[in-house]
Chains A and B, each alone.
Chain A
Amino acid sequence: MKRYLRRLVKVKTKMKIQHIPFEKLADMAERRQSPKENEAMHSHLSDCQDCSNQLAKLEKLVNLMLTDTAEDAPPAVVARTLNMFRPREMKEEKPSIIERVMAVLSFDSRQLSPAFGVRSGQSVARQLLFSVGEHDLDLRVAPDDGAWVVSGQVLGECENGEVLLRGASASESAQMNELCEFTLPRVPSGKYSLVISFSNTEIEVPEFELKA
């Protein structure tokens, strides 16, 4: 009997709760209600979490819209931006012509001859600058505990750049970062050629020797 009565109270209590219709909440969020209507609704809102939450969402939404003073970009600027885009060729569909260029040594921190070699006993990296058409290559070679570290940077655009160091005793490769810098893993002494590839260009650095 007691259990039945408790259940009856719960059902009757539920039936009493009538939520505020969404349209009324929207009126309230937009301040379209009269003070009297507001007062009546506030009384319910103080007891009803669901209606309170719904009203809060509506008020926030309405406020965001009413205070939206964002500006459109000038039409001419938008038009120029649209024109930046050029439809791309799918790389696997069309072969591209690769331009191969030989790097020309323009500066050597040790003023070596074109048939250059790098000797151990130097405690600092050696810098070599090469000119390659529209690009420049800043190459650094440093001894590292009996081996050598070759690193550098391409000065100019180098999209998706890769570097390959090829020698009789070892070969290593590296990807360039977004600043066109690269650092190759250590390699032993020996003769090497260096090939740098990016876009449709391959730059070849003349064979050089790293020796102790």
Chain B
Amino acid sequence: MTVSDEKLVLACRKGDEAAWEALVNRYQRLIYTIPRRAGLDEDQSSEIFQDVFATLLRKLDEIEQPERLHAWIVTTARRLTWRFIKNEKSPAKTVSYGQDEDEGEAVQVPDDAPLPDEVLLKLEEQQKVRRAVAALDERCRKLIQMLFYQPVSPSYTEIAAALGTTEGSIGPTRSRCLQKMLRLMES
């Protein structure tokens, strides 16, 4: 059973370093991927990453709803990414008005949506799925990771060999694990 965000925040407030490590590990992928998806390179995304966690550390005592930490983190990462882009590079798009493109006057329009909502929503949903995977028992976790998180999914034969089980058991085990995940995500 994974510890809730709320419990981790409260533990961090009491100086629990292990709780901080758990929080960082839980959200590192999501926080790093948000600026990357917005077009920032690795160094820039690393900067945003550290800024988000530095802000979290600074505001730890002020977060009024620790159980909504996920929303706070996503909002902060998004805001810092947007601010970075706006300050650093944001090349303006030019738009022409008028019936004929040649006649229209070019107007500078700032890019104000570096990360579309649907992309962010998908990132958040994938984060929830990863948390469900992390909450599985070891056997299920390994199976799910091999089936769905590899660039090329291995065959049932290869999976059975890796897990030390029979090929015939992979299907039913997979079903059991997926059912668990659906239950975890609905709870």
Instruction: State the A residues within 8 Å of B (CB).
Output: 22-23, 26-27, 57-58, 61-62, 64-68, 70-74, 77-78, 80-82, 84-85, 87-90, 178
B126 touches A70 (CB 8 A): yes
A61 touches B181 (CB 8 A): yes
* B24 cross-chain contacts in A, Cβ below 8 A: 78, 81-82
Instruction: State the B residues within 8 Å of A (CB).
Output: 12-17, 20-21, 24-25, 28-33, 36, 42, 45-46, 49-50, 53-54, 57, 62, 122-123, 125-127, 129-130, 144, 148-149, 171-172, 174-175, 178-179, 181-182, 185
Asked whether A70 and B50 contact (CB < 8 A) given A26-B178, A27-B171, A78-B24, the answer is: no
Asked whether A66 and B148 contact (CB < 8 A) given A85-B57, A87-B17, the answer is: yes
* A73 cross-chain contacts in B, Cβ below 8 A: 28-29, 31-32, 45-46, 49
Main secondary structure of the interface of B (DSSP, over half): helix
Docked Cα-Cα span, A84 to B57, in Å, equals: 8
* A66 cross-chain contacts in B, Cβ below 8 A: 148
- Closest approach, in angstroms, between the C-beta of A34 and any C-beta of chain B? 15
Q: Quick one: which of B13, B36, B148, B172 contacts A23, CB cutoff 8 A?
A: B172
- Closest approach, in angstroms, between the C-beta of B114 and any C-beta of chain A? 17
Q: List 21 A-B contacts (CB under 8 A).
A: A26-B174, A26-B178, A27-B171, A58-B182, A61-B178, A61-B182, A61-B185, A62-B148, A65-B129, A67-B126, A68-B148, A70-B29, A70-B30, A70-B126, A71-B33, A72-B32, A77-B46, A77-B49, A82-B24, A85-B21, A87-B15
